[in-house]
A = this chain, B = another copy of it.
Amino acid sequence: MKINAERIAQFLEGKVEGNGNAEVGSFGKIEEAREGQLAFFANPKYEEFLYKTKASVVLLNDNYELKQPVTATLIRVPDAYIAFAKLLQIYEELMKSQLTGIQQPSYIDESAKLGEEVFVGAFTYVGANAVIGNNVKLYPGVYVGNDVKIDDNTILHPGVKIYFGCQIGKNVTIHAGTVIGGDGFGFAPQDDGSYKKVPQIGNVVIEDNVEIGSNATIDRATVGSTIIHSGTKLDNLIQIAHNVEIGCNTVIAAQAGVSGSTKIGKNAMIGGQVGIVGHLQIADGAKINAQSGVSKSIKEKNTAVTGSPAYDYTSALRSQALTRNLPQIEKRLAELEKLVQQLMQEKINF
């Protein structure tokens, strides 16, 4: 799919400078773009690349004055970055709208209900009594278990697996390989040292506008629901244990893990590789630094913590700095010991 500069300019209500027939088929960064790509220039730091770029078309701010001739076709717009983002979004929506129909072979149980404009990729499985909303896109190799509900406009990328009885909201995106609704990790120790499984028969509820990265795992509740509230964004390889609840618009970076029954508030920001112990309460707006280990509830809103075990950000940074200086602290202590020893000695001699 190629499009020329003239048509892009019309769409953006911009003005072409150069060859209006120059065609592009994909996007690139101004410093790396190849022929046939569209780039934008907005940040002065990248000015040199404007004059060297191999991009066929470049979006440029109206008020920028050229200092040398440029080989790319230019499109002048009020804000090049916003115009670029607008094109990206249109491109994504176009791609999504083209995904429709049912590829073969796929497996759709006869009791499942599918909405309109649904895409079911090859090798995708839709179990008994599953309900799939309008405009849902199930990429190839997706598994939708029995009694699962997936609401309108949701996208499941290749190889996503949803265990039986889980519920996925509207406008949700889940990336490849993620598993929703596996059994929570619950085993009762027996007298002989072995463990007996505690049945995990709750489910997972994912509300609207949530996005989840690749190869993450969200376990079903023992009883009741593990809940991800609307607008929350989870990165790749994240572990969410049984009966966890995460509030609206919280962001969690890759490889973080939340243990069983912990409740996280809304608008929290949790860094990569953070671990949170089970049965805690994390207040709204909490900020947890990467690699922190949270072992106590965070009760006050908007608290920032770091470290493992984690405590308040400013104190922890001061302690970390002093830890780095421990060799000097120890040296100061040793010198002081010598002096005091000397004073004691002199006192005795005295």
Contact = CB atoms under 8 A, between A and B. Distances in A.
A169 interface: no
Given A249-B195, A253-B185, A179 B214 contact: yes
A211 interface: yes
A29 interface: yes
Contact of A339 (B194, B195, B209, B344): B344
A319 to B, nearest CB: 5
A103 B146 CA distance: 15
A193 B197 CA distance: 40
Copies of this chain, tallied across the complex? 3
A32 B226 CA distance: 12
A172 to B, nearest CB: 12
A313 interface: no
B267 A193 contact: yes
A14 interface: no
A121 interface: yes
B158 A158 contact: no
Contact of A347 (B107, B290, B343): B343
Interface in A90-116: 91-92, 103, 105, 107
Interface in A123-147: 123, 125, 139-141, 143, 145
Contact of A122 (B125, B215, B257): B125
Contact of A91 (B194, B201, B214, B233): B201
Interface residues of A, number: 107
A88 B344 contact: no
A215 B219 CA distance: 12
A185 B256 CA distance: 14
A324 interface: yes
A335 to B, nearest CB: 9
Interface of A: 26-29, 32, 39, 85, 88-89, 91-92, 103, 105, 107, 121-123, 125, 139-141, 143, 145, 157-159, 161, 163, 165, 173, 175-177, 179, 182-183, 185, 187, 193-195, 197-199, 201-202, 209, 211, 213-217, 219, 223-225, 231, 233, 235-237, 239, 241, 248-249, 251, 253-255, 257, 259, 266-267, 272-273, 275, 277, 290-291, 293, 295, 308-309, 311, 315-316, 318-320, 322-324, 326-327, 329-330, 332-333, 336-337, 339-340, 343-344, 346-347
The 3 A-B residue pairs whose C-beta atoms are closest, nearest first, are A88-B199, A107-B122, A29-B224
